[in-house]
Structure 1
Amino acid sequence: MLDVKLHDIGEGMTEGEIVQYLVQVGDKVTVDQPLVEVQTDKMTAELPSPCAGIVKEIIIETGETVQVGTSLLCIEEDFSARIGNEPKPELSAAKEVAAIVSEKAGKFSSTPFRRVLAAPYTRKIARENNITIEDVPSSDPSGRVTEEDVYRFIEGKKAVKEPIIEVQPVTSNENPSDEISFKGIRKQIARKMTHSLLTIPHVTHFDEVNMTNIINMRDELKMAGESVSLSAFFIKALTISLKEFPIFNAELDEANDRIVLKRNYHIGIATNTANGLLVPVVHDADKKTIKDLHRVIKELTEKAITGKLKPSEMQNSTFTMSNVGPLGSTGATPIINHPETAIIAFHKTKKQPIVNEHDEIVIGHVMTLSMSFDHRVADGATAVAFTNRFSSLIEQPHNLLLEMI
């Protein structure tokens, strides 16, 4: 009998929440077949079967949070599969054909061979609304079930775009209220933020950046057929500034009384998703062109929103940025992504009167930024110098381009 245990699937995780089992007791499983979905502090991941065999026992119930190393289920291993004595391929194919025929007849097969394609978040929506994902018709030619498919299934022909939060009423005549679940990513974010605030003495520095020239450059590139996001320019300017002020690309090692200056420039991009705040990482950002950065940022953001990020795409960040301007933010005090030394947030860009280099009052684009840093590691004057250098590269984008030659 083989115990399938919760193992570390990224970033040194210590625990995970059992979201759902993809098999039942008595099911035959093959090597690498998904067995269970587990929610970590960053993502929902599927744990594969380490062997072929039959599921004999499910130990941990769904909804429970367990530590790494905990046995989740037991499999009676089929040792004959190791030496190639698996069922004949034509039998497996026959089962798949039977499942397809049964589907077309309106009878959904319960065979474990029928595995519906759907993102973890889509499955979560279905679970929260007591919907069996296999029952949901797909509108995608590939057969993948989308969020919209689930919502249409729930509401009939009406498409619902906003995620449904399961609300549990609390009966009280004096203080009527509702409840939502506090676990999964939301709970892990709370733990991480609390740890950061209790560990790091935060200081936040605010500044303004004249965005007029960089916006004009972006618009000119767009007219020439090259679409580049402002975030790509931000990351390039940040990597240049971090090389000049390495104290902000550092980690405090209190145990050994040292500050470790990182030589890799891995920029985390705080991303708002329906499941909570995720931080995919642009690795080796200093070695990428602005076009490369635009492409990578777009890919990582899409993966974060659809729940497809890999653990490796959320690891080893050395500095984090948060671009909340598009949401309408005018200012905030961002919390540092421990164990990093600093985080910078970019806020709303407004049109307002400014004085140009000829002492003329003109209308320009001005963005506010806020930078929180670890006061044990760096001082306010250094933070001001850092943001001044960043601002100079953004305000005079030709300087940014010269730095890349």
Structure 2
Amino acid sequence: MIEVKLHDIGEGMTQADVLALFVQPGDRVNPDEPLVEVQTDKMTAEIPAPYAGVIKEVKVEVGQTISVGTTIFLLDRMSQDSEAEVASAVETIPVPDTSPEINIKALNEATSDHVKSQVKRTMASPYTRKLARENGIDIEKISGTGPAGRITDQDVLNYEKGKRQQGLTSESPTQNSVEKNHSEAKPTTIPFKGRRKQIAAKMTQSLLTIPHCTHFEEVDVTNILEMREFWKKRNASISATALFVKAISISLKEYPIFNARLNEEKALIELHEEHHIGVAIDTPDGLIVPVVRNVEKKSLISIHNELKELTAKAQENRLNVGEMTGSTFTISNVGPLGGSIGATPIINQPEVGLISFHKTKKRPVVNEKDEIVIRSMMNISMSFDHRVADGATAVAFTNRLTELLEEPKLLLLELV
């Protein structure tokens, strides 16, 4: 008997929520066939079968939060001889003749129970399954148009559209629950689980472990905005976030103490040579941090394009583990959300620093000639691990970053 357990599917992952079970006791499965869908603080993933066999027992329930190492299924592994017999049965299904009655009989006799179960099992990505659940759709009822009958996102949307046109779409359980609570004058509740719960655990751990210190600065980004407009007129749009990421990388070269991690067990501060910059993105399911790798080697256009792709994947919950782990420094650009002039951001442990870029506002400032001029000003907040760096070093780091952002032409000197 094989125990199928929850393994670590992401950096630092300790637990996950069970979103969906794809098999039940008695089902036969193939190697690498998805058995269960789980959600961590970073991603949604499927746990596959390690071997061919029969599911003997399901040890968890949908909605349950489980820790790494928890047994999810008991699998009775199929012997190699049995696997070969099943494969042979699949390969030797006869070509049916012209009689419909004979065709069905021949197919039923030649197809093993294992093959039948595989025909019924649905192939779809975790995001596609989630899309179906959110629309109250039984994914087993959808015919897939993808390779080998795989169900695509568009298949789900088309099915939902068809139900709506036929007047069959029912209200979601969540909506019914909200209306019922409202009618009974009870408070509406939101489940505290999944990504929200995982984020809470990680933020709590960071605050309890790292002595945070936050440094604030204001930056004149007028020249950056003018340069972006110049590029746009020449069909070369570069996002402000891409510029921030590159400026951070250049600053980290000069102040590598903020591109590090503290190894308390070995009593060492480990400095990273690579700049893997995490960019916090707000999604419907909560905050997520995809990573732009080796920023120190990439052009502004490459960074911009990669950020655009990662943001789209984050919004659709399609990021893989490699795209969400291994960051060495994190930024949060909350300016586009509006209304934010400052914050005390929580460090993405085990990193040493995190910078938030806030809302840009036009306001009068006094220039070097003692003249009052209108400039576009933005505040930044830098939180750092006070065990690893001191305030003076943080000020020097943000001064260098401010210089690069206020005079973006200086970035060009670092790109040659």
TM-score category, normalised to shorter length: 0.7 to 0.9
- Is 2:99 the partner of 1:88? no
- Give 2:286's aligned residue: 276
Give the letter aligned to residue 145 of structure 1: D
- Is 2:4 the partner of 1:4? yes
Q: 1:50 Cα shift?
A: 1.4
Contact kept in structure 1, 2:137 and 2:160, CA below 8 Å? no
Distance 1:385 1:258 in 2: 23
* CA deviation vs aligned residue, 1:196-250 (integer Å, no higher than 9, x gap): 1111121211111111111222222222122211111111110110111112112
Give the letter aligned to residue 236 of structure 2: E
Q: Which residue of 285, 293, 299 corresponds with 2:295?
A: 285
- Is 2:153 the partner of 1:145? yes
Contact kept in structure 1, 2:15 and 2:65, CA below 8 Å? yes
Deviation beyond 6 Å, 4+ runs, structure 1: 137-142, 169-175
Residues matched between the structures, number: 389
Q: Which residue of 267, 281, 306 corresponds with 2:277?
A: 267
Q: Which residue of 186, 191, 201 corresponds with 1:181?
A: 191
Structure 1 residues 221, 55: closer, same or farther in 2, change over 3 A? same
SS in 2 for 1:179: coil
TM-score by length of 1: 0.85
Q: 1:309 Cα shift?
A: 1.2
Give the letter aligned to residue 144 of structure 1: T
Contact kept in structure 1, 2:128 and 2:152, CA below 8 Å? no
- Is 2:328 the partner of 1:322? no
- Map 1:117-266 to 2 at 5 A: 119-124=125-130, 126-127=132-133, 130-135=136-141, 144-145=152-153, 152=161, 168=177, 176-266=186-276
- Is 2:62 the partner of 1:62? yes
Identity across the alignment (%): 51
Q: 1:320 Cα shift?
A: 0.5
Contact kept in structure 1, 2:257 and 2:389, CA below 8 Å? yes
Distance 1:92 1:274 in 2: 50
TM-score by length of 2: 0.83
- Give 1:17's aligned residue: 17
* CA deviation vs aligned residue, 1:114-156 (integer Å, no higher than 9, x gap): 5656553453354356531234588999952357557657765
Distance 2:203 2:25 in 1: 39
Structure 1 residues 257, 356: closer, same or farther in 2, change over 3 A? same
Q: 1:268 Cα shift?
A: 0.8
* CA deviation vs aligned residue, 1:165-199 (integer Å, no higher than 9, x gap): 56856979998312111111111100111111111
Contact kept in structure 2, 1:117 and 1:145, CA below 8 Å? no
Q: Which residue of 365, 377, 385 corresponds with 1:374?
A: 385
SS in 2 for 1:41: coil
- Map 1:311-350 to 2 at 5 A: 311-328=321-338, 329-350=340-361
SS in 1 for 2:50: coil
Structure 1 residues 172, 223: closer, same or farther in 2, change over 3 A? closer
Q: 1:23 Cα shift?
A: 2.2
Which has the larger share of helix?
2
Give the letter aligned to residue 389 of structure 2: A
- Give 2:34's aligned residue: 34
Q: For structure 2, list consecutive stretches of 5 or more residues without a partner in the other structure.
A: 97-102, 105-115
SS in 2 for 1:208: strand
Higher mean C-alpha deviation, range 122-131 or range 328-337: 122-131
SS in 2 for 1:349: strand
